[in-house]
């Protein structure tokens, strides 16, 4: 595969814009979550169920995305699913029925999953064409988009009605996404992957035990990020007593710390395994996350701003700890015996998606039946478990002398890198 320098620059710019906007779309709703819960009139248990079961849409997307890519090409899949993801968000301010909202969330999970696979596949192919490491930078841009959108949305939520807010960010993003997608790699430029030709069929349930351990680690390492994404605004309003604008600050600092951590991975892993970084990140990050959920409310009883400050600072350190988690487990996918990297990544994502459904249901039930502070102890515990698994993975890799050469950060609750099939 080869590509001219000018064309490569165009594609790289287009993919950078798409990664940025994908991250932005994923966080635009965060400061509006308390408002949406009231709008569709559900309790925390029902909200957790909506978040959990809507993940079934992502599972379907994971199973069918590659088929769509084979039939229509990754560029066409990117054009359709990126715009669809944005336009589905535009409809949310007008929905007052919980079942319709659930259907929209499931549809967003489906389009988002296909969007994610097509986009990451484009990034991987361009990386191979140029023989340069680009995925890490693309996903750092994703995180920047997520943090920027959360911060801007927090401000807009203080004075704009939701329909106008969602028309401005997702609506405008839909237009830019389509234009950028039309400049991505064509099917002719991508060609047929030699890795795909060499790929052998392997029964799903006969996967190596290492894959199941890595899948559990991926779930445990990414779920805390998803928990803060889904619940931080509700935590800020209901527990800390803040308005919509200030409620988004802990999440914004959390994602900002993730950006710092992921941009630093290359430097930190020069002389040590990425799993070692994740081990210590899991231990200290889980303490910071749990402390933020416990200390913030205690201080907020005296002064909400004091509670906000404590939670924001502690969750910033939690973000630093969780940054290396996805790179640890995604990188290790390249060393699963008996499976290609693409097979291992796809199966890890599928298994993690199933676990996510259960995790979100449990967290919603705890939030409703106990309280939100207790609910945040679930992702805190999983955070620590992820660190322990990463540490065990690092020891195993060192014993087998299998050094991880590239640690590229896959961002978002479920990161997938797929080859063109």
Average pLDDT over residues 157-182: 93
Res. 2: pLDDT tops 70: no
As for how many domains the chain has, the answer is 1
| Residue 417 belongs to some domain of the structure | no
| Residue 412 belongs to some domain of the structure | no
Distances (CA, A) of 338 to 78, 150, 186, 211, 342: 31, 41, 31, 10, 12
Q: Are 385 and 283 in contact (CB under 8 A)?
A: no
| Residue 295 belongs to some domain of the structure | yes
d(CA 325, CA 330): 9
Helix H or strand E encompassing 416: none
CB environment 259-283: b (16+ within 10 A), e (fewer): bebbbebbeebeeebbbbbbbebbe
The CA-CA-CA angle for residues 320, 326, 328, to 5°, reads 95
pLDDT tens digit sequence for 57-85: 988 887 887 778 878 888 899 999 999 99
| Residue 286 belongs to some domain of the structure | yes
* Burial (CB count <10 Å: 0-12, 13-18, 19+), residue 51: buried
What lies within 8 Å, CB to CB, of 234 at 6+ separation is 33, 34, 37, 44, 247, 372
CATH number of the domain where residue 134 is located: 1.20.1250.20
| Residue 322 belongs to some domain of the structure | yes
| Residue 47 belongs to some domain of the structure | yes
Give DSSP secondary structure letters for 87-101.
HHHHHGGG---HHHH
- For all residues of the chain together, what is the average pLDDT? 84
pLDDT tens digit sequence for 372-408: 999 999 999 999 999 999 888 877 766 665 444 444 4
Count the residues in the chain: 421
pLDDT tens digit sequence for 310-336: 999 999 999 999 988 877 787 676 667
Q: Are 281 and 221 in contact (CB under 8 A)?
A: no
Residue 69, domain extent: 5-399
| Residue 409 belongs to some domain of the structure | no
pTM of the full structure: 0.77
């Amino acid at each position: 595969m080869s590509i001219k320098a000018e064309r490569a620059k165009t594609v790289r710019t287009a993919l950078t814009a798409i990664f940025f906007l994908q991250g932005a779309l994923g966080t635009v709703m965060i400061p509006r979550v308390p408002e949406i819960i009231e709008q569709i009139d559900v309790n925390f248990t029902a909200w957790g169920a909506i978040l959990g079961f809507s993940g079934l849409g992502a599972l379907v997307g994971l199973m069918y995305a590659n088929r769509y890519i084979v039939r229509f090409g990754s560029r066409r899949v990117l054009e359709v699913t990126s715009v669809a993801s944005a336009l589905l968000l535009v409809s949310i301010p007008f929905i007052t029925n919980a079942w319709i909202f659930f259907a929209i969330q499931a549809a967003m999970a489906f389009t988002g999953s296909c969007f994610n696979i097509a986009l990451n596949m484009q990034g991987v192919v361009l990386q191979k064409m140029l023989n340069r490491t680009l995925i890490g930078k693309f996903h750092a841009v994703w995180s920047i988009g997520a943090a920027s959108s959360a911060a801007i949305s927090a401000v807009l939520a203080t004075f704009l009605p939701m329909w106008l807010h969602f028309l401005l960010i997702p609506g405008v993003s839909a237009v830019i996404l389509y234009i950028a997608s039309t400049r991505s790699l064509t099917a002719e430029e991508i060609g047929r992957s030699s890795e795909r030709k060499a790929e052998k069929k392997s029964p799903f349930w006969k996967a190596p035990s290492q894959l199941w351990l890595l899948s559990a680690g991926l779930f445990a390492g990414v779920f805390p990020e998803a928990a803060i994404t889904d619940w931080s605004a509700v935590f800020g309003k209901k527990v800390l007593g803040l308005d919509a604008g200030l409620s988004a600050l802990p999440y914004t600092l959390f994602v900002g710390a993730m950006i710092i951590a992921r941009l630093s991975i290359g430097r930190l892993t020069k002389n040590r395994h990425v799993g070692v970084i994740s081990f210590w990140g899991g231990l200290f990050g889980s303490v910071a996350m749990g402390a933020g959920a416990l200390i913030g409310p205690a201080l907020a009883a005296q002064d909400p701003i004091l509670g906000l400050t404590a939670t924001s600072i502690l969750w910033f350190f939690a973000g630093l700890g969780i940054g290396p988690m996805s790179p640890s487990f995604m990188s290790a996918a390249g060393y699963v015996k008996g499976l290609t990297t693409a097979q291992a990544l796809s199966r890890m994502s599928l298994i993690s998606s199933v676990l996510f459904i259960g995790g979100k249901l449990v967290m919603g039930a705890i939030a409703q039946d106990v309280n939100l502070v207790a609910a945040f102890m679930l992702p805190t515990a999983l955070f620590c478990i992820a660190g322990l698994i990463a540490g065990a993975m690092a020891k195993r890799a060192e014993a087998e002398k299998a050094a991880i050469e590239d640690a590229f950060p896959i961002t978002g609750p479920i990161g997938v890198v797929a080859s063109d099939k």
